[in-house]
Amino acid sequence: MHLQENYGIHASPDEILVTSGAQQALHLITLCLLNPGDAIAMEGPSYSYSLPLFSSAGLRLFRLPMDENGIVPEAVYELHREHRIRMVFANPTYHNPTGTILSKARRSELLDICQELRLPLVEDDAYGALTLAGSPKPPKPIKAIDKTGAVLYVGSLSKTIAPGLRIGWLVGPRSVVERLADAKQQMDFGTSSVSQQFARRFVERKSWNNQQERMSRYLLEQQQTMVRAMHKHLSDYAVWNEPGGSYHIWCRLLAPRDEKELLDDAIREGVVFTPGSVYGAEAGWLRLTYSWECPANIEEGVRRIQKVLQQKKR
């Protein structure tokens, strides 16, 4: 019911696998559905580049180009022709790290292309429920319009309830779910039943809706605090986006710096950020996160980043 009511996804119980967080679902996919040497496609940049599970599985990663509307779907044809990709990984809603939303038209186009080429499409929707108050709702997940079972949908409660809860899920064809469930059983003997019962009660009651409303207001205030601080302190040094959801702001320095040097300088000033190279981005990109620090610390953190950049501008 949770998936149907909140995401528009219709799935029977035997098409859903509860996992210990979304990352375990991704691990099971790489373990059971891919082989060392297989080529996969994902957005560039992408959070997936920071996950060691892809490299440890011996997979070859190829970038799908993006613009302000997310993935450019036609690029899948070229990657398939040149590299014989076996699977596509996408984070279409509040993409990490860029914050982009794949448009409704492109979601349909990407699904059609993957179906035509018989490529499984893994949809990572970890941030899909984190729309900021006052922002328009994003399009439904690609899985909601999938009629053939081409999409493996991965979700989680880690970003909306608590990271330590470690409750995620994978929605896909029954045959795939059974295969992954068998591997999971051998891996951890099943996700904690206590955590599952807590999660079930939470999403079956009004607690889920109340939490969503609280998060949407809270994250809007946090983002506004960071954006004000950035306009005040970083306008001469960077440009950035203001996504309609999620935790992050994707920031491009006007004068790129050596990432290691910049991060070391920032740490000495008592502030940290995530360099863009972690996500496979070119030099000069930073991901700034506003999810949990208090407003005063957000302001101070941005001021310290300015101080680091100023030291090199003189």
> Per-residue confidence of the chain (314 residues) as pLDDT tens digits?
788 888 999 999 999 999 988 889 999 999 999 999 999 999 989 987 777 888 888 999 999 999 988 999 999 999 999 999 999 999 999 999 999 999 999 999 999 999 999 999 999 999 999 999 999 999 999 999 999 999 999 999 888 887 777 889 999 999 999 999 999 988 888 788 888 888 888 888 788 889 989 999 999 999 999 999 999 999 999 999 999 999 999 999 999 889 999 999 999 999 999 999 999 898 899 999 999 899 999 999 999 999 999 985 44
DSSP class of 1: -
The confidence score (pLDDT) of residue 312 equals 56
Q: What's the CA gap between 291 and 199, in Å, rounded?
A: 22
Q: At 161, list the tokens.
A: 């309830």
Angle between helices 75-83 and 104-117 (to 10 degrees): 30
Q: Which domains does the chain have, with CATH numbers?
A: 2-205 (3.40.640.10), 215-313 (3.90.1150.10)
Cβ neighbours, 10 Å, residue 307: 14
The confidence score (pLDDT) of residue 208 equals 83
DSSP class of 277: G
Are 303 and 233 in contact by the 8 Å Cβ rule? The answer is yes
DSSP class of 192: -
Strands 285-289 and 274-275: antiparallel
The confidence score (pLDDT) of residue 314 equals 44
Q: Is the dihedral of CA 255, 258, 261, 267 positive or negative?
A: positive
Q: At 311, list the tokens.
A: 């030291």
Mean of per-residue pLDDT scores for the chain: 92
Are 117 and 78 in contact by the 8 Å Cβ rule? The answer is no
pTM over 0.85: yes
Q: CB within 8 A of 222, min separation 6: which ones?
A: 290, 291, 293, 295, 298
Please provide residue 67's backbone torsions phi and psi, each rounded to the nearest 5 degrees.
Answer: -135, -160
Are 273 and 238 in contact by the 8 Å Cβ rule? The answer is no
Q: What's the CA gap between 268 and 174, in Å, rounded?
A: 52
Question: ∠ CA 224-230-231 to the nearest 5 degrees?
Answer: 90
AA identity, residue 276: G
